Amino acid sequence: MTAVPVSLTDVRELVDGALRAAVGRLDPRTYRVAAYHLGWTDEEGRPRAAPAGKALRPALALLSARAALAPQESALPGAVAVELVHAFSLLHDDIMDGDRTRRHRPAAWTIFGEASAILAGDALLALAGEVLLEAPGQGSARAAHALAAATRGLIAGQSLDMDFETRRKISLDECVAMAAGKTAALLACSCAIGAVLDGAPESLSDALEAFGADLGIAFQLVDDLLGIWGDPDATGKPALSDVRSRKMSLPVVAALNAEGPHAERLAEMYGRADLSEDDLREVAALVEAAGGRAWAEREAERRIQRAAEHLASARLPEPVRAEFLRVADFVTRRDH
C-alpha cells in the first residue's frame, strides 16, 4: 500500500478534537446522524474506534497556513470547516445518488431515513460557516466567503453529474467541468483557506487555490482510474465497480469521445443494463483500447505538473512546498 505522508496521519488527531467540539453543538438528534456519518459512532450511537477518511482537506488547510508563515494551528477553524462541507456533501450525495454504502458501512440515510440525513447535511453546512466566522483575525470573513463560493461550485458539479445521467452524449470538457466543481472546488479552497484566514495577499491565496484546482482534477482522474482498474483489496470496492454502475467517469467519457470501433462498441455496451462479469471486463478493455486509460493517466500527470508550477510561482518556504508536493504525490500514487 502507498505510504500516506506524515501530514495526513498527524492531522486527523489535531483536527479531530476541534471537529468533535463543533459537531457537538448540534441538537442531539442531528448530532447522532452526523456522528454516525463521520464514523465516530455506530448505528446505536455507541463510540467506535476507527476514524474514517483520509483527512486530505484538513491536511491541506493546515499546510496552507504554513504557506503564509502562520502556525498551522491558526488554520484549525478552516480545517474543520472544509471537513464539515465535505461531510455535508457526501451525506447529501448518497441520498441523491441512492448510494446505500459509504466507507464499508450502510450510508446514513439507510439507517436514519432520508429526512434526518437531509437535515443533518444542512446542519453540517451551516455549522461550517459558523465555525469559520468565529476564527480570530481579519481573514475569517474572506475565508467564509471563499468556502461558500466553493460550495456553490461543488453543488454545480453535482448538478452537472446528475444531468449526465439523463443524457446519452457528454463531452470531455463537460466531464472535466463536472470534476472541477464536484471534486476540485473544495480541494482548491482547502489549499488556500489557512492563508486566507491569516490575511495573506491574494497573489499567494490565488496561487494556492490554483494548485488545489489542478490537484483536484488529478485526484478525480486517479479516483476514476481506481474505480475501473483498482485492486479491490486496496480500494475496498468490488472490482470494476464504476463500470458496474455505468459511471460516466473521466476515462470512460474520454474513450466514448474517441473515434473508431472501440469507442462505438463501448457506447453500445455501456448503454446495456445486463452485462455479465465477462462483459464488464470487456468494457474495461474497450476503455483502455479507445485510449481512455492512457489519456486519464497522462492528464493526471499533466495536472500535477501544472499544480507544481502554481506552487513554484508562489515562493513558499521550501519545507511547505515540499510537503504540498508530497500530498500531490500521494494523491496520484495512492491505490485506494
Query: Which positions lie near a copy of itself, rule CB under 8 A?
Result: 25-27, 29-30, 88, 92, 95-97, 114-116, 118-119, 121-123, 125-127, 129-130, 133-134, 140-141, 144-145, 148-149, 151-152, 155-156, 158-160, 162-163
Residue 157 CB, nearest approach to a copy of itself (Å): 9
Residue 13 CB, nearest approach to a copy of itself (Å): 26
At which residue does the C-alpha cell 482522474 appear? 221
| CB nearer a copy of itself, residue 145 or residue 315 | 145
| CB nearer a copy of itself, residue 166 or residue 276 | 166
The residues, any chain, with a CB within 8 Å of residue 149's CB and separated by 6 or more, are 189
| CB nearer a copy of itself, residue 142 or residue 302 | 142
Residue 151 CB, nearest approach to a copy of itself (Å): 4
DSSP per-residue string spanning 78-137: HHHHHHHHHHHHHHHHHHHHT--EETTEE-HHHHH-HHHHHHHHHHHHHHHHHHHHTSSS
Distance CA 45, CA 272 (A): 41
Residue 312 CB, nearest approach to a copy of itself (Å): 31
| CB nearer a copy of itself, residue 24 or residue 232 | 24
| Inter-CA distances, 42 with 25, 28, 60, Å | 19, 15, 28
Whether 152 contacts 22, CB under 8 Å: no
Cell of 74: 491558526
Residue 146 CB, nearest approach to a copy of itself (Å): 9
| Inter-CA distances, 27 with 123, 133, 170, 241, Å | 9, 20, 42, 37
Query: Could you say which DSSP state residue 258 is in?
Result: S
| CB nearer a copy of itself, residue 88 or residue 330 | 88
Residue 131 CB, nearest approach to a copy of itself (Å): 9
| CB nearer a copy of itself, residue 33 or residue 240 | 33
